[in-house]
Amino acid sequence: MKSLLPVKPTLPTPSRLIFILLIITAFFLPSPYVILSPGNPQNILGSAITISGTKVYPTTGKLSVTSVLVTDPDSYITGFDVLYGWIDKNRVVLPRAQVYPEGESAAESVKIGADEMSGSQINATAAALDHLGYKNEATLVIVEVNKKSNAVGNFVAGDQIISVNNKIYDSSAQIMDYLDQKKPGDLISIKVLRAGKEVISREIKLSARDDGSAFIGINIQSQFDFPFDVKIKLAETGGPSGGLIFALGIIDKLTSQDLVRYRNIAGTGTIEKDGSIGAIGGIEEKIVAAKRAGADLFLAPAANCSELSSIPEGITVAAVGTIDEAVAALNSKSPKGCDSLGA
């Protein structure tokens, strides 16, 4: 008697084996992705910030910078790693090109992160001192020239920016915002002061990044003549996102008022010398890391609130847009949260 049930098609045994081998192989082949995961928060109160040449006050509690661990561009990320990253709620998988420019090596990535960290520390010091009433005039100085750009041969490290297209800018961020309106191939005029005495004006053609955006090809930092020495030393952290917490740590050490008051506080955010706080990447991973470390209050850039899908129970997230708002949040019993901004 013939069965009326449909017959399931089957692969011949050799084909089945080849198919299985292909699947297994795909799991262990390198893939064009990077994986983001929560890093360990680092308390910056204590020895991370040293101030000399003025009175310093004792601090209490923890004030921690948060970070995101990102696999470097040279890492061997397999299909299995990607699958695990998709399953794990505390990890994010992104295309490598979305995080690293084409051709950027691990060494180059580390250097860029270190330069951004250095710039954030300078801006944090300026913002903190400005908040406390100190006035500091900044000069924009070229610290590096990209060898793959049209800036080579026109500018050198140490040149002081006077103007870009005859306009004076107060920060490198303002220049970047201006460049967002330009496209590769556009001509711009840059005037610099070299060696403190020679004024040089150059018209150069903007270069193109891999994503099609325009750039000059110079790394610019704000430099100040601060009234006393502030040094920040933090291991295994790069990028600009620690600026907000650095500034708060400096303020806490320079005032008799205890901002932290024995609490466990963490946060993130870039900072400009005028005290404005900018958005960062990996906000959800950083909040998760802070919660794991026992933080009960997290300071987040207001610009990141729309990216939050949820906030873990047991931690308050305060949305801040300036250093003044951040200080107010630390002094408030009910700081303005991301939920009030529509997250």
Q: Is the pLDDT of residue 41 over 70?
A: yes
Q: How many CB atoms lie within 10 A of CB 53?
A: 10
Give the pLDDT confidence score for residue 1 in this predicted structure.
46
Report the candidate in 190, 188, 129, 134 with the shortest Cα–Cα distance to residue 161: 190
pLDDT in tens, 174-220: 888 888 888 889 999 999 999 888 999 999 898 887 777 888 888 88
Q: Is the pLDDT of residue 86 over 50?
A: yes
CA distance between the termini of the chain: 65
Burial class (CB in 10 A: 0-12, 13-18, 19+), 153: exposed
Asked which of 2-11, 67-76, 211-220, 225-234 is least confident by mean pLDDT, the reply is 2-11
264 vs 313, more confident:
264
306 three-state secondary structure:
helix
Mean pLDDT for 265-281 is 93
Please give the Cα distance from 81 to 89 (Å, whole number): 14
1 vs 54, more confident:
54
High-pLDDT (> 70) share of the chain, %: 81
CA 294 from centroid of its chain's CA atoms: 23
319 three-state secondary structure:
strand
Q: What is the DSSP letter of 235?
A: T
Give the pLDDT confidence score for residue 263 in this predicted structure.
95
222 three-state secondary structure:
strand
Give the pLDDT confidence score for residue 104 in this predicted structure.
64
Task: Band the pLDDT of 336: cuts 50, 70, 90.
Answer: confident
pLDDT in tens, 5-29: 555 555 556 666 665 655 655 555 5
Q: How many CB atoms lie within 10 A of CB 265?
A: 26
7 vs 271, more confident:
271
Chain position carrying tokens 């004792």: 58
